Amino acid sequence: MNQIFCFKRYLLLVKRQWYENASVYKWGIALMALTVGFMFWATSTWKVANNPRLGQTETFVVACLFLYVFSAWFFDSLSSKSKKMFYFMLPVSPLERVTVAFTYVMVFMPLLIFSIFTVFDFVAVHLFNHLHDASKHMLLYSTAVTIEGLAVNPMPSFLFLLLSYVSISSFFVLGSLMFGKKGPVLTIAFLIFLPILYIRLHRWLIEIGFEVESKIILWQNNIFIYLFPFCWLAMYFVMKKKEA
């Protein structure tokens, strides 16, 4: 197989990915839309007497969780030996396979999920403003306040949120490719283990007199930057190995 990237083969693989998983994707999108709508209704208090508020932040977080679920099961079909064999017999290069995964996980699904959230948010805000005159100046995205609290100084909040998403999602896709059906469980276990290891390391560095506040914060900011390209590069080589 020619290892050079071919845009035509890439487009064919994008279409094939959708056709093979259309039923799962459509049901997933419908479930996500229903969940987002339910979250707006369940997390908001609509009566003036109950200090009315709109649950945009909670709904936004739940919508983002769908992205991680999608990433964690992206290569789930490769758990079947027959599908796995057929998939790697396709006349496409590892680079094209990885690019298709990147397109779905990093472009298509985030745009789709954020679009659905924006539509529900638009409707909910206008309904909320109609019911409560005092809320006419409410921002469309109050999630910015909560997102700001997620920032790790000196990294801007939006950049931190973006890097954390692309890095963790990339890690889930890599786990899905390497471990199949066990991928989500093993990846989550590792993501739980990693903070515990970090806390232990943090305490140990304090005990030996290391300049924690300056060096560790720098490491926290940079780990997402390093993890993102590492995962996709690793996926490329895993693809090449599985093809062999």
Query: For 102-132, how does the pLDDT look when each residue is reduced to its tens digit (9 = 90+)?
Result: 999 989 988 888 888 888 888 877 777 777 6
Count of CB atoms situated within 10 Å of the CB of 242: 15
Q: Is 144 contained in some domain?
A: yes
Total number of domains in the chain: 1
136 falls within a domain: yes
**Is 2 a member of any domain?**
no
Answer whether 174's CB lies under 8 Å from 230's CB: no
Query: Which residue blocks in 138-182 are alpha helix, DSSP H?
Result: 143-149, 157-179
DSSP annotation of 35 reads H
The reply to whether 222 falls in a domain is yes
Residue-wise pLDDT tens digits, 48-102: 555 666 677 778 778 888 888 888 888 877 666 777 777 777 788 888 989 999 9
Is the pLDDT at 210 greater than 80? The verdict is: no
Residue 58 falls inside a structural domain:
yes
CA distance 119 to 117: 6
Within a domain: 182: yes
Q: Is residue 66 included in any domain, yes or no?
A: yes
Domain containing 61 equals 7-243
Please check whether residue 184 is in contact with residue 171, taking contact to mean a CB–CB distance below 8 angstroms. Answer: no
pLDDT tens-place string over residues 126-157: 777 777 664 444 444 444 444 444 444 444 55
Q: Does residue 200 lie in a domain region?
A: yes
Distance CA 89, CA 108 (A): 25
Kindly report whether the global pTM for this prediction surpasses the value 0.85: no
Residues 206, 227: Cα–Cα separation, whole Å: 25
